Amino acid sequence: MTHLRHAFVSLVLLIPISVSAVDTASFRAQLQGDLRRNLERHHAIAAEERAQNVQPTDFSYPYMLSGLINLHAQTKEAILLTWAKEDLLWIARCSVDAHGKISPFFGASFRFLPSYCDAYRYLQAQGVLTPGEVAEVAAQITACADIRLNRADFGAQNRGLIYGAELLFCAQAVPTAPQVDRWQRQGEALVYDSLHGWSVEDASIYEPFWFNYLLTLTEMRGELAERMKLITTRYYFDHAKALLMPNGLMPDWGDGDWTHSWAWNVANLVLAGSHYRDGTYLEAARQLYEANHAYYQELTGEAIGGLGLAVRWLDAAVPLAPLIQAKSAEVVDDLISKKIVFRGAADTYALFNYRDEGPYGRFTRDYQHAQLDAHEEKPHHGHADENAFGALIQAGTVLLADGGYRGVSVVELGVFGRGWRADIFHNRIVARTGFPAQADVFDYLLADTTYHQVQTEKIHFGTFGSLDYARTRLVDEERGYTGDRITLFAPESGLTIIVDSLLIDRAGSKIFCNTWHPDQLLEQGDNWVLAHADQISIRQESWPNPHTRDLLIQFVGNRDKVAATRVIDRRFHPSSAFYQYLKNYFFKGQRLTFVTVLRPVPVGGFDRKLLDEVKLITDEHDDGRALGLHFMLGGEAITVGLKLDQTIGLTNLRGRPMFDVTTGAITYGALRTDADFAFVREHHDGTREFGFQYATALSFAGTTFFEQQVWPKMYQGAGGFAVSDRRDKMPRWHAVAPAVKP
């Protein structure tokens, strides 16, 4: 469905179609009222099609049954039951030909049978179906279930779970069917992996969908209360809540779109809030609902299905609670999610994703590799977006967006195409082996869109007042390098500095490309661009992007590197990429560094003087083992030191601890420390704010701000080999040192 008629809706000032709910009771009334109006509209369309004796044209038509029965269960409005019966029976009757032969209405389409079976059982319980009507519907369910016995696509992912759930719903609805025992056994086999582990998918449109079917399946089986006790259940509620953007939307990552699957997230969060008696989940659900409904205004059939469940699960006795998510944080964990959200003033939001295939779900992953022709993706539905920024937003303006789902032509053809899931379409470092001496570098990168397995992990994350800091590592054994992406984020302004430190693990000819996708360029110069995207394309839809901010992207420290721009087909329309690359024969042990500055700028506020604000502090070697930065924040100077080679200082080789503050300390201008990360901010009042990760000592301009006490007995090893200055390492620190008196 095309929604271009909504092109004047603003992302930052979404136009409400009903007053924002102030408490849970009004949120329930809002859901029920909007659901009621849209059910009447959809039922009228269905009635017109029935009058013409044609099958429903809405792909999501069966979800309407979920909305009808769940709303009826709350309001007891008789007409809803009448509509549900008419729509249920029409699905059965329009699939019978003149000779009485039954065709499976759902055919190859999956997802819908559970809603159909749920409605059938509800109408039976209400006593509104005659024996003949029961037989009609049971015959349709039987026909649909029988043709599903040829498919498995198993594993902890949406299709495998839903194929199994469909058979189990059918088995409960028609327990006398000839093949019901096979339905039951096959259904149990297919849902097993999802019931007993984490999903292997990393995709914004599939995670809430898979999770919702897991919840409704266990509810149907009377196991929901036990399911809600599991850590694997609570995790996905918290994951969705933690990712919520300031504008009430969810970001997209992997196979994903901003607007798809939002109603399933609403239903899931409503269940979490009601079951755990936690109003923050309900508040997240309310924000999601109002933001998306304000854009669409009319609910789709799929949204009605999700919101019907939300009405069913909502407990109005649980009060809404403020959802305060103002600080940067890891999104739940660094094993399954592998995401970090940076948050700051002016509703700044940045999503950083470093998720790889993961060290779990091996049975599912191996099967998907063996049976699915989708060589661009991680199994399953994950993109090559490790160590990539999927979103950057400030004051309602989208400054960076993810790569989107797939090309329109691919969707229309119904096949797996080649393209947008690849690494080159994401805001990340892209690597290739080989050396295209004459060919265009971007074309060479684009020629390989196959997914190549890498491993990722978090090294550090912390919030340190003026700066939030993260360091994640990507190991690419195939291309022979290890890449650390270090992010420095200033919450007060949204200034973000990204340092990519690459270590060559295997010698050879290689290309490394520091790739960014700002979409539409306003100005550009040597090693910088100013950009703003007028819209965020979503398949056949477009989100208008308000113009409160521009994005300045700048490459710093550009010796030997080449910067360029290129218009490509990305996110369903022509889009400008800005990139910087190195290509050469590299030796094992060499270190390469890329430094990128992302700076949100108020419209009209760009000044070329900003290009001189971030400077590198070079040392006597400049060999990529350490990096110093100097920049301004709020008119105050900040000095940053980064130990890119974390082995510096591990010099006590005959005993433990190996680290030694004397050989591990590095000088970055006025800053001296053995920290992996450290900074000092010189405030106007003379105080010095400082923070670090993993250090023994830190001094600035000759004044010691931090020094761990000597611990003589900490040495473990043979006598005579201990370092003389035995001090332990502190994992993290943040403080403000008083002004030095004259």
Q: Assess whether the region 4-313 and the region 335-604 belong to the same CATH fold.
A: no
CA 682 to chain centre: 36
| pLDDT range class, residue 12, cuts 50, 70, 90 | very low
CA distance 67 to 397: 34
Sorting pLDDT into bands at 50, 70 and 90, what band is 663? very high
Share of the chain above pLDDT 70, in %: 95
Torsion-angle region of residue 116: left (phi > 0), alpha (psi -120 to 50) or beta?
Answer: alpha
Closest CA to 266 of 299, 217, 220, 229: 299
pLDDT tens per residue across span 121-141: 999 999 999 999 999 999 999
Structural domain boundaries in the chain: 4-313, 335-604, 614-742
Model confidence pLDDT, tens digit, residues 669-686: 999 999 999 999 999 999
- Cα dihedral 425→430→431→435 (10° resolution): 70
Answer whether residue 373 shows pLDDT above 50: yes
Closest among 378, 433, 132, 391 to 255, alpha carbons compared: 378
Confidence of residue 9 (pLDDT cuts 50, 70, 90): very low
- CATH class for the region spanning 335-604: mainly beta
Whether residue 377 contacts residue 451, with contact meaning beta carbons closer than 8 Å, is answered with yes
**Under a CB-based contact definition with an 8 Å cutoff, are residues 177 and 138 in contact?**
yes
* CA neighbor of 353 nearest in space, from 368, 343, 341: 341
With bands split at pLDDT 50, 70 and 90, how would you rate the model's confidence at 741?
A: confident
Q: How many residues comprise the chain?
A: 742
What is the rounded distance in angstroms from the CA atom of residue 539 to the CA atom of residue 418?
16
d(CA 38, CA 31): 11
pLDDT of 587-597, one tens digit each? 999 999 999 99
pLDDT digits 0-9 by tens, 462-511: 999 999 999 999 999 999 999 999 999 999 999 999 999 999 999 999 99
Q: What is the CATH number of domain 4-313?
A: 1.50.10
Q: Where residue 320 falls among pLDDT bands split at 50, 70, 90?
A: very high
pLDDT, average across residues 563-588: 94
Find the mean pLDDT for residues 215-223.
98
- Amino acid in the structure at residue 739: A
Write down the pTM of the prediction. 0.94
- What pLDDT, on the 0 to 100 scale, is given for residue 538? 82
Residue 5 pLDDT > 60, yes or no?
no
3 state SS for 619-680: CCCCCCCEEEEEEEECCEEEEEEEECCCCCCECCCCEECCECHHHHCEEECCEEECCCEEEE
Q: Counting beta carbons within 10 angstroms of the beta carbon of residue 80, is it exposed (0 to 12), middle (13 to 18) or buried (19 or more)?
A: buried
Report the C-alpha gap between 375 and 384 in whole angstroms: 11
Beta bridge partners of 592: 502
pLDDT surpassing 90 at residue 296: no
User: CA angle 521-525-528, nearest 5°?
Assistant: 70
Both tokens assigned to 370: 């063996």
Query: Between β-strands 716-717 and 655-656, what pairing exists: parallel, antiparallel or unpaired?
Result: antiparallel
Q: Tokens 């919450």 — which residue?
A: 491
Grade residue 451 by pLDDT with cuts at 50, 70 and 90.
very high
Does residue 377 contact residue 370 with C-beta atoms inside 8 Å?
A: no
Q: Cα torsion at 80, 84, 87, 92 (round to 10°)?
A: -160
Closest to 371 in 3D by CA, of 155, 147, 148, 106:
155
* H/E element, 289: helix 279-296
Q: Which residue has the higher pLDDT, 18 or 498?
A: 498
